[in-house]
Amino acid sequence: MRLALLLGAAAFLPFMSQAGWREEVVRPGAGPFPAPPDLTARYVFGWSGIEAAEAEVKLWRGAEGNFTGTVSGGTKGMARTLYKLDADYRTEVAGPDFLSRQFTLTERYRSYRVEEKADFRPGGVRAWRESDKKGAKPPKWKNFYVPGLRDMAGALLLARSQPLDQGDRISLAVFPGDWMYLARLKVEGREKLRSRGEDRKAIRLALEIDRIEKDYSLSPHKKFQQGTIWVSDDDLRIPLRIEVKVFVGHVFAELTEVNRL
């Protein structure tokens, strides 16, 4: 589930110096594209073409214009017999610039449980993690000092609001839980994507992810190699399919259903 959330992170960035990226990530404000309507969506996730997990996503806007989002899912089928995982994620994002406020994440494995929560502030994020796995470190609060850090929901909402014209690049610092990353996307063009027996107009984006180190330098993500995201070219601008090459092969996420609330 953590990987699925990370895949959803979006950012657009030309090549920069190690110091320059910190100035870039605090610049983006909400773009001209309208915010999404309240919706529910379902996704399947898999490896090398085999479906291994599923999740339901809900997003709605409150009276004050702020967003609440939830993601609930887990492994299924043969994959579940080998690797049992259920996860629940809840996030709050403030408008109009889609600034993350807080999130909670609970992961339930076959023999242990992990809980995380994060509070976002102007200068970064304060995060807490606890695991009852044998030998796990005692829980404690950690501070990450990078202005502009957002969770997955805040990053996605901000990115989809941009014009997304061919060649566009924007950068975002993302905190999906446990550590911080710089996600980079480049708009490669528009095309038709065949998905679930239907042709959908889509925006294709190339994805890169770097790890932000303690000294604020960037290093390659150890598991992620490269990725492609297709976003629906309509008023929803919802991810239709994500394909990522990682150290174990190719993983994917695909939209199976979406409904407006």
Domain residue ranges of the chain, discontinuous segments joined by +:
2-260
What type of residue sits at position 152?
A: M
Tokens of 241: 């399919």
Q: Which residue has the tokens 């199976």?
A: 256
Pairing between β-strand 249-260 and β-strand 39-47 as defined by DSSP bridges: antiparallel
Answering whether pTM is above 0.95, one says no
Contact 182, 218 (CB under 8 A): yes
- How far apart CA 227 and CA 85 sit, in angstroms, is 24
Q: Which of 78-92, 141-155, 238-252 has the lowest mean pLDDT?
A: 238-252
What are phi and psi for residue 57, nearest 5 degrees?
Answer: -115, 135
pLDDT value for 18? 47
CA dist 41 and 255 (Å) reads 7
What residue type is assigned to position 221 of the chain? H
Q: Percent of the chain scored above 90 by pLDDT?
A: 69
Mean pLDDT of 85-93: 98
Kindly list the distances between the CA atom of residue 49 and the CA atoms of 44, 45, 122, 171, 235, in Å, as whole numbers in the listed order. 11, 9, 41, 30, 29
For the chain, helix (H) and strand (E) counts, in that order, are 4, 15
**Token output for 219:** 């290093």
Phi and psi based region of residue 20 (left: phi greater than 0; alpha: psi -120 to 50; beta: remaining)? alpha
Least confident of 4-18, 71-85, 201-215: 4-18
Considering only residues 6 and 84, tell me which one the structure prediction assigns the higher pLDDT: 84
Radius of gyration of the chain (CA): 17
What mean pLDDT is predicted for residues 128-135? 93
List the single range of 1-5, 64-68, 212-216, 241-245 with lowest mean pLDDT.
1-5
Convert the pLDDT of each residue in 181-233 to its tens digit.
999 999 999 999 998 788 999 999 999 999 999 888 999 887 787 899 999 99
What amino acid is encoded at 66 in this protein? Answer: N
* pLDDT confidence bin for 26, thresholds 50/70/90: low
Residue 206 burial class via C-beta count within 10 angstroms: exposed 0-12, middle 13-18, buried 19 and up: middle
The residue with tokens 């699925």 is: 4
Residues 6+ apart with CB under 8 A from 157: 35, 36, 67, 93, 98
Judge whether residue 33 has pLDDT over 90: yes
